[in-house]
Structures are given as C-alpha cells and as structure tokens.
Amino acid sequence: MSVTKTLIQQLQKGDKKSLARCITIVENELDGYEEILTSLDFNQHIPVIGVTGPPGAGKSTLINSVIKKLTTQGKSVGVIAIDPTSPFNYGSLLGDRLRMAEHFTNEKVFIRSIATRGSLGGLSVKTIEIVDIMRAFSFDYIIVETVGVGQSEVEIVGLADTTVLVLVPEAGDEVQALKSGVMEIADIFVVNKSDREGANIFLKNLAQLAHSKPLSDWSIPVIKSIATTHEGVDELIASINKHHTTGVNSKRPYLLVEKAYRLIQNHRMKSVSKQLLQQQIEAEFKKPDFNLYRFVKENEFY
C-alpha cells in the first residue's frame, strides 16, 4: 500500500497527524496531493462557517468563544485562519493561530493558519481544498476566518454554507458603503463589542437593513455580542445551527460554481511561475521602451 493511501486511511479514522500531513501535501502540491483530493470521501453535511468582517471587529476573539462553547458541548471543531500573504516571500503575516493559543492542547480542536497566496478576497483555491480535507476528517463544525479586507471578502460566499459578518458599533457610518459588497453576503449579522456607545442604534439600523433584503425562507438575525465575556455566543451558535438545518442555502449552486471555477483557474495557471515572472520583469522593466502589456502579449501569457 502506498504512503498516500495509508495517510488517507489514517485521516479518515480520525488521526490528526495524518490530517496535518495531508493538508501540507495538498497546500504545497507535493507528490500524492492529487490522489488525496480525488480519493477522500468528503462529508458534505458538515457545516462550514465563514466568519468575516473588517479588521478590529474581534473575529478571532468571537471564534475563541464559539470554540470554547462548542467543545464544552462535546463537539469537534476544525479552524482555518486565513492570513494575509507577504508579497515578497508568499508566507503568512499575522499568524492568527496565536490568538487561539488556549485551544492548542484541546483534542477536539484543530487549527490551521494558511496564507491568502495573493487572493484579494482572502481566499485561495488551497482554502477550498483544505476545507474539503477537513470534511473528510468529519469535524462537527468547520470555521473559516478571513483576513478582513473589506468588500472583496464576498469570495467567502463561494466557500461557506453559513456566512457570519462581524461588525462593531463604530462601523455605523460604513454600512451604506458596505451595503453593495460584503453586507450582501451575510446570513447572520453580529454586532461585537456591543457595550460601546451607539451599539443599540447600530443594531436597529442593521435589523432594518436585514429586513429590507429580498424575502426568502431565511430571516437574517442580528446578534448583539461581547466576545470577551462570551455574551451572545449561545445565540450565535443557535442561529448557525438553525441556518444549517433549515436547508435554505440559496447560495449552494453559486458555491459549487465558484469552487469549480477556482479549481479550473488554478489548474490552468500552473504553467505560470510567479517567481519566474518576477525575474523576467526585473530583467526587462529597466529598458526605456518597457511596456507591460506588450511584455505579457509577447510572452504569450494570454
């Protein structure tokens, strides 16, 4: 039996070391990564929860509280913390796992931090693949935390079954600007740090916005939370469970199309090396007649 098949068997039996190894192989496209992706039996019924929102909204703290509550209920949780990517070494910058340090020794929790790999919306095709590997491990919940870069985070809708948008009262003036972007993707609104001034007015405005959306079988809840004291966490988990069990995820077809599109895009871009591209441009751009569009066309990149 091949090493890859052994890894797959051990992963599906619940071995975390095999899970971590499979993720590393797939993330770095090492030998056997395609066999892993095509051989695993993914449990599509595991809820994938996307947690998004602007920087400073307290996403990591809220996720900490949710993990703590779920694990005390005996649930297992897989977490993917997406970090911004350095444009120079393509590694992650923030290391969000440090904020979740209290869960490192919890056998019911698995946390993996991955880089965006240049994806503006905070997701990469590797995020999609890693989520599916986690589905094969059969966690009770999978949580994906995005980097918090603004409207471009609408990409999370192509991955998550339930999208939680975390905001703070100070975001009140930004709601109209966000309305056409990230505000449109939320299945659940959470107003964190709601002990701050203006929280009640902001909650009321958000509720009006939620109710102004096209009618559907899902009524978008607006939850008041203080993550540092675990306030609102029970209500958030209840809303996540309700959204998952109602089976009203109208985004499901879009989700699958988006995943397929990114997988195809990644496959077709394999022949383009960003490092080689950088070397070529460094050698050419100092020329007085350098033209980027001509460079791309002459090198047959499209």
* pLDDT given for residue 218 in this prediction: 82
At 79, give phi and psi (nearest 5°): -120, 130
CATH superfamily of 42-261: P-loop containing nucleotide triphosphate hydrolases (3.40.50.300)
Strands (E), 58-161: 77-83, 109-115, 141-145
Q: Which residues pair with 109 in a beta bridge?
A: 77
Domain map (residue ranges) of the chain: 1-41, 42-261, 271-298
Q: Which residues contact 8 (CB under 8 A, 6 or more apart)?
A: 18, 22, 35, 36, 39, 40
With tokens 């939850």, the residue in question is: 223
* pLDDT given for residue 228 in this prediction: 92
* pLDDT given for residue 192 in this prediction: 94
* pLDDT given for residue 208 in this prediction: 81
At 137, give phi and psi (nearest 5°): -75, -15
Q: How far is it, in rounded angstroms, from Cα 21 to Cα 37? A: 13
**Residue closest to 25 by CA, chosen among 108, 105, 129, 122:** 129
Q: How far is CA 208 from the centre of its chain?
A: 27
* pLDDT given for residue 296 in this prediction: 85
**Residue closest to 213 by CA, chosen among 201, 224, 223, 222:** 222
User: For residue 186, which amino acid is it?
Assistant: A
Neighbours of 29 (CB within 10 A): 13
- DSSP secondary structure code for residue 103 in this structure: G
* pLDDT given for residue 86 in this prediction: 45
| pLDDT per residue as tens, the chain (302 positions) | 688 899 999 998 999 999 999 999 998 889 999 899 888 888 888 999 999 888 788 898 999 999 999 999 999 999 998 866 544 444 444 444 455 666 667 889 999 888 755 444 445 678 888 998 999 998 999 999 886 644 445 566 667 889 899 998 876 555 555 555 556 778 899 999 999 988 888 888 888 877 776 656 788 899 999 999 999 999 999 999 999 888 655 666 766 777 777 778 777 887 788 888 888 899 898 888 888 888 888 876 65
Q: What is the pTM of this model?
A: 0.81
Confirm if 72 and 65 have CB atoms less than 8 A apart: no
